[in-house]
Structures are given as structure tokens and as C-alpha cells.
Amino acid sequence: MKRVLGDNWVLPALDDDNRAFFTSGKLVVQQCSQCEKFQHAPEDICQSCQSFELHNFESQGQGKVESVAVVDHAIHPSLKDKVPYAIVAVSVDDAPGVLIVGNVIGKAPDDIRIGDNVSVVFEEVDDERSGERLTIPQWQAVQ
Ligand SMILES: [Zn+2]
């Protein structure tokens, strides 16, 4: 898949906490081994109980649009040919409490609605800085 926001848009900086999310080719969120709550974005501590015992949970990748914003103004020169585009926050069906921000492909920005069902797809891009192949989660509409 071509990158939604283009090849010149910035890539995430990988660390030990977010590597699985950006490189596994699966929709991976953190789950606390103590209180079993899910969380995203990844970090080294549970936001609910402050445990450091977190593991990766592999979601089935289905979700629902909870929020949508359409961007009409390019905030960076590399985005000038990409506007308008939509930014969505998606709740993940099998990871309650998690919201993942991304873009929706294959649907006009003004046609995306809160409540739309979406499934994860992945942008694949080689990160020259880390030497790793990134699989960046994005969303596609489910009919
Ligand atoms: Zn916890």
C-alpha cells in the first residue's frame, strides 16, 4: 500500500515499547498482566495500576470510528498534495478502552462517519534510520 500521507511524511521513532505496534504487521496493543486493562500508546507502565508487567496483545484488527476530523490545511509542505484527509480515532473491538489514531483509506474524507466499522490495514515502508521495515496501522472501511 502506498503511504496515505505520502513517502515524505515523517516516520515514527522506534523504541522497545512501540516496536511491535509499528513492525509486527499485526494490530498489537499493550495489556497489563496484573489488571488486564488494555492501553495504547505503548509505554513502560500500566496507566491503570502502575504495574510494569505489560505484554503485547494481538488484536483481530476490527474497530469503530469514534471521532473524525478532516484536515483541509497542510500543516507541513509534504502534505500540500494530500489535503483534504481525515484523521480518525478508532476504538478496537477486542481491546476495550483503546483508541488508535490513523487515517481511513478508500473513502472520501467527508464520507467518513462516527460509528463506521473499520478494519486494520498496514502501510509498509522501509525506515532508513532504523534499517527496519515498518508496518504502520491504518484503517479501511468495512461494508
Ligand atoms: Zn494494570
| Residue pLDDT, tens place only, 85-137 | 999 999 999 999 999 999 999 899 999 999 999 999 999 999 988 899 999 99
3-class SS shares of the chain: helix, strand, coil, % to 5:
10, 40, 50
Query: 45 CA distance to ligand 1 centroid (A)?
Result: 8
Query: 73 CA distance to ligand 1 centroid (A)?
Result: 39
Measured from the Cβ of residue 122, the count of other Cβ atoms closer than 10 Å reads 17
**Looking at per-residue confidence, does 122 or 3 come out higher?**
122
> Confidence band (pLDDT; 50, 70, 90) for 2?
confident
Q: Report the DSSP pairing between strands 104-105 and 85-92.
A: unpaired
Query: 15 CA distance to ligand 1 centroid (A)?
Result: 21
Query: 43 CA distance to ligand 1 centroid (A)?
Result: 12
Q: Report the DSSP pairing between strands 132-141 and 104-105.
A: parallel
**pLDDT recorded at residue 6:** 87
Q: What's the rounded Cα separation, in Å, for the pair 50 and 115?
A: 32
DSSP 76-104: SGGGTTT-SEEEEEEEETTSTT-EEEE-E
Segment 71-82 shows an average pLDDT of 93
**pLDDT recorded at residue 53:** 98
Residues around the ion ligand 1 (C-beta < 5 A): 32, 34-35, 46, 48-49, 51
Query: Is residue 25 within 8 Å of 58, Cβ to Cβ?
Result: no
Predicted model pTM: 0.93
Q: What's the rounded Cα separation, in Å, for the pair 131 and 80?
A: 28
**pLDDT recorded at residue 23:** 96
In one-letter notation, the amino acid at residue 130 is: S
